[in-house]
């Protein structure tokens, strides 16, 4: 993939959604029902509704979990509301008019937004088109600038009675240092008083960018810029930028025919897109500010975007895949007859076997609870026969690929420590399902890594608990179109190969990798001004290198743009990168969690980028919390006594600015995203900055 050609595209918002539709919004608790106009903004960032008094409420598209219509939607229980909607009349056709939008930070803490249309089947159109938005991988992997743009869009929709942008809304979005916000507004010749308002026409995109540059200077990017242009000139020429893209943002191991290097004529298009100065555009020059916006753009995705789509062979035996699996046996999930509407239900219910759907009688601990399913759903999952596990030897003799056995985490751990190679061979042939032990009454999770290391397909977790194990699971299954299926490494599928996950030296045919991470700087880490530090740790095989590093604490309380710029953290000899994940955690001086992200090592693009934050509730929010700058060096496919072929790249992760070097014979992709862990107060936004880049990956 060319660095100039991003694959992911934003969802297209249909005209009728922009213009809006009349609905009645109702609430069972208050028994209120109000006429509203339901709309989606032209860029597809927000679903919002306006009341008759002009008050507007917003719902971030990324927070939407599901849409429901007909008998699956919420039905009013309040007697007053039932009378309003003539619900008890046989010809009311209420089920053809109702729409419920489900949103929430996780799969348990949900909010139901209920609407009734004036016409039949209108709600179904909205439900289908909203689901198309949330299934689009772009909205969760957009560039850093897209998330900055998202904030501007909301500011311009939240106008006061005079039709102006309240300055207090800007203070709420950038709460860490009010004086710096005031100074940035002053530099743009804008009002700074708490009760002031800004005319929307006085705050166009160009002024907004200037405001951000004044609020948060980027000396780290300035340093990158000055190291790659003529030292005597305050700009980068078209030729300099072309060289920078080809040498730093592109994997030099790529085939030039299939992945042609950037050419000056195409680079001119980037200058026209990102350079703020018209004079520089005419001269084919890029300023330091233009470099900032270029690195924030979709051309510099931190992940190989094609891997976010469905790209793997989906015709292998079922035992050859890792399968996203839930252990929420006591949670209520409504399957939908007309095309499954709940993405997590779709991925996980399809992965349950028939016995599990009826009653998990063979399970120990918390697993023996009854779950309900429609016959239509049951018919989808009759391909696997559950059996009781006897031994690896008996399983090998029977040689049955259509069976599955369930193990508690304790039993599975005993087997993998006692017979790791046999467990791997077992999982090449047939299915295993791991589930939490019965004493996890708090619905906590075990670390899934140890069971992935032996090839267990269905490592079932409590999806309602967004702890580190669940975050790791989410990070892994973000790829391959979020299908819930990931093809295991060839070594874990071939019957002629033997794999010992406890190997501490080398794995036959697999060449180990080295990963180096340098924490440089951060941006918009918290709503409070605090001192902070970063921890970096590796999940993988037991024989992988040192697991955890940490930076020093920043000398000053600064959440807007702290600087660390530490020596590299080096993870040498990662035995099997396909089974390794990187976790980057930002904490306050006293150890209070700010944010983190878990990154599959094989999802890293060799370049420097921004990475976006995800909330601890596991969906990306437009919050102003957390950007970090990180420098990553990756060596993969390097043979003994061979000099590394190094490719450089810069990547910004919300904001960890990553500088990545790779000597990869194979394309190595690294994903660096950070999760905002702070629960910001209502109205506080935090910028999910995805600073991405990839070296043609």
Nearest to 63 by CA among 681, 670, 622, 477: 622
196 inside domain: yes
* 427: CATH: 3.20.20.190
600 inside domain: no
Q: Which residue has the higher pLDDT, 406 or 668?
A: 406
271 inside domain: no
Cα torsion through 516, 519, 525, 530, rounded to 10? 140
pLDDT (tens digit, 9 = 90+) per residue, 453-463? 999 999 999 98
Residue 390: HSE in the Cβ half-sphere, 13 Å Cα cutoff? 8
**What pLDDT score was predicted for residue 567?**
86
Q: What is the DSSP letter of 381?
A: S
**What pLDDT score was predicted for residue 683?**
28
State which of 85, 117, 140 marks the end of a domain. Answer: 140
CA 362 from centroid of its chain's CA atoms: 35
Q: Which residue has the higher pLDDT, 629 or 30?
A: 30
Contacts of 95 (CB under 8 A, 6+ apart): 70, 71, 73
152 and 54 in one domain? no
Instruction: Give the global pTM.
Output: 0.79
State which of 140, 160, 182 marks the end of a domain. Answer: 140
H and E: helices and strands count for the chain: 21, 27
State which of 191, 215, 239 marks the end of a domain. Answer: 215
71 and 164 in one domain? no
Query: pLDDT exceeding 90 applies to what percent of the chain?
Result: 47
What does the alpha-carbon distance between residue 402 and residue 28 come to, in Å, rounded to a whole number? 47
157 and 124 in one domain? no
The number of residues in the chain equals 697
Order of strands across the sheet that contains 64-69: 56-60, 46-51, 32-40, 21-27, 111-117, 98-103, 64-69
Q: How confident is the model at residue 559 (pLDDT cuts 50, 70, 90)?
A: confident
Token pair for 219 = 């000396």
Token pair for 356 = 């599990």
Instruction: Decide: 654 and 593 in contact? Cβ < 8 Å.
Output: no
485 inside domain: yes
112 and 98 in one domain? yes
How buried is 658 (Cβ within 10 angstroms: 0-12 exposed, 13-18 middle, 19+ buried)?
Answer: buried
Token pair for 499 = 């794999």
Secondary-structure percent of the chain, ordered helix, strand, coil, rounded to 5: 30, 25, 45
Question: Residue 384's domain spans which residues?
Answer: 318-492
Q: How confident is the model at residue 252 (pLDDT cuts 50, 70, 90)?
A: low
pLDDT (tens digit, 9 = 90+) per residue, 158-211? 999 999 999 999 999 888 789 999 999 999 999 999 999 999 999 999 999 999
126 inside domain: yes
**What pLDDT score was predicted for residue 677?**
31
What does the alpha-carbon distance between residue 377 and residue 220 come to, in Å, rounded to a whole number? 53
**What pLDDT score was predicted for residue 645?**
32
169 and 123 in one domain? no
**What pLDDT score was predicted for residue 341?**
35
End-to-end CA distance of the chain: 5
DSSP H helices, 367-500, are 375-378, 392-398, 409-418, 420-429, 449-452, 468-476
**What pLDDT score was predicted for residue 538?**
93
Token pair for 31 = 């028994």
470 and 329 in one domain? yes
**What pLDDT score was predicted for residue 509?**
65
pLDDT (tens digit, 9 = 90+) per residue, 392-417? 999 999 999 999 999 999 999 999 99
DSSP 315-356: -S-GGGEEE--B--TTS-----SSS---HHHHHHHTTS-HHH
Q: How confident is the model at residue 379 (pLDDT cuts 50, 70, 90)?
A: low
Domain count, the chain: 3
Token pair for 666 = 């194979």
* 60: CATH: 2.30.29.240
200 inside domain: yes
21 and 95 in one domain? yes
**What pLDDT score was predicted for residue 24?**
97
DSSP 43-86: TS-EEEEEETTS-EEEEEGGGEEEEEEGGGS----SHHHHHHTT
395 inside domain: yes
165 and 112 in one domain? no
Q: How confident is the model at residue 148 (pLDDT cuts 50, 70, 90)?
A: confident
40 inside domain: yes
pLDDT (tens digit, 9 = 90+) per residue, 606-617? 554 455 444 443
């Amino acid at each position: 993939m060319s660095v100039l050609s991003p694959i992911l595209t934003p969802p297209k918002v249909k005209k009728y959604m922009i213009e809006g539709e009349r609905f009645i919004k109702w609430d069972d608790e208050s028994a209120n029902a109000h006429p509203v106009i339901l709309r989606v903004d032209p860029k597809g960032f927000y679903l919002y509704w306006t009341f008759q008094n002009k008050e507007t409420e917003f719902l971030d598209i990324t927070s939407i979990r599901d849409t429901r219509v007909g008998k699956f939607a919420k039905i009013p229980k309040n007697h007053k509301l039932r009378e309003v909607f003539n619900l008890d009349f046989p010809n009311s056709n209420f089920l053809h008019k109702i729409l419920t939008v489900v949103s929430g930070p996780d799969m348990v803490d949900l909010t139901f937004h209920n609407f009734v249309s004036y016409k039949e089947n209108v709600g179904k159109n909205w439900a289908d088109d909203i689901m198309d938005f949330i299934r689009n991988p772009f909205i969760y992997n957009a560039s850093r600038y897209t998330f900055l743009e998202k904030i501007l869009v909301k500011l311009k929709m939240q106008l006061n009675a005079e039709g102006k942008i309240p300055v207090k809304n800007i203070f709420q979005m950038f709460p860490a240092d009010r004086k710096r916000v005031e100074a940035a507004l002053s530099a743009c010749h804008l009002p700074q008083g708490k009760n002031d308002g800004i005319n929307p026409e006085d705050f166009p995109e160009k002024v907004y960018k200037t405001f951000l540059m004044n609020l948060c200077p980027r000396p780290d990017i300035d340093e990158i810029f000055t190291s790659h242009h003529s030292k005597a000139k305050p700009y980068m020429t078209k030729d300099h930028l072309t060289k920078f893209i080809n040498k730093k943002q592109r994997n030099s191991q790529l085939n030039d025919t299939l992945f042609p290097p950037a050419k000056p004529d195409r680079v001119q298009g980037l200058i026209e897109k990102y350079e703020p100065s018209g004079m520089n555009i005419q001269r084919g020059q890029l300023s330091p500010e233009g470099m900032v916006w270029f690195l924030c753009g979709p051309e510099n995705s931190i992940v190989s975007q094609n891997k976010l789509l469905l790209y793997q062979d989906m015709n292998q035996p079922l035992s050859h895949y890792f399968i996203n699996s839930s252990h929420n046996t006591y949670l209520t999930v409504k399957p939908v007859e007309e095309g499954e509407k709940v993405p997590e239900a779709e991925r996980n219910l399809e992965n349950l076997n028939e016995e599990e759907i009826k009653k998990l009688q063979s399970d120990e601990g918390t697993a023996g609870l009854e779950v309900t399913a429609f016959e239509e759903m049951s018919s989808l999952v009759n391909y696997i026969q559950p059996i009781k596990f006897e031994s690896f030897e008996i399983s090998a003799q029977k040689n049955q690929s259509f069976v599955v056995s369930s193990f508690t985490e304790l039993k599975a751990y005993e087997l993998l420590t006692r017979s790791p190679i046999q467990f791997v061979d077992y999982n090449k042939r047939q299915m295993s399902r791991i589930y939490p032990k019965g004493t996890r009454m708090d619905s906590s999770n075990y670390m899934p890594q140890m069971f992935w290391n032996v090839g267990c397909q269905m490592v079932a977790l409590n999806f309602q608990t967004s702890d580190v194990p669940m975050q790791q699971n989410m990070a892994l299954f973000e790829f391959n179109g979020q299908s819930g299926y990931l093809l295991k490494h060839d070594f874990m599928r071939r019957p002629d190969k033997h794999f010992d996950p406890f190997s501490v030296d080398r794995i036959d045919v697999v060449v180990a990798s080295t990963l180096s991470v340098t924490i440089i700087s951060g941006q918009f880490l918290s709503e409070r001004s605090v001192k902070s530090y970063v921890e970096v740790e590796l999940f993988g095989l037991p024989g992988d290198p040192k697991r955890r590093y940490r930076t020093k604490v920043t000398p000053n309380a600064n959440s807007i743009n702290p600087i660390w710029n530490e020596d590299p953290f080096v993870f040498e000899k990662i035995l099997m990168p396909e089974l390794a994940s990187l976790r980057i955690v930002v904490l306050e001086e006293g150890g209070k969690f700010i944010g983190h992200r878990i990154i599959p090592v094989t999802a890293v693009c060799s370049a420097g980028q921004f990475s976006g934050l995800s909330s601890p509730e596991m969906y990306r929010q437009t919050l102003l919390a957390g950007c970090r700058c990180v420098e990553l060096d990756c060596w993969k496919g390097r043979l003994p006594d061979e000099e590394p072929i190094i490719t450089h790249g810069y990547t910004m992760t919300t904001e960890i600015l990553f500088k990545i070097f790779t000597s990869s014979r194979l394309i190595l992709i690294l994903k660096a995203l950070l999760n905002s862990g702070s629960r910001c107060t209502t109205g506080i936004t935090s910028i999910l900055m995805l600073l991405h880049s990839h070296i043609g990956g």
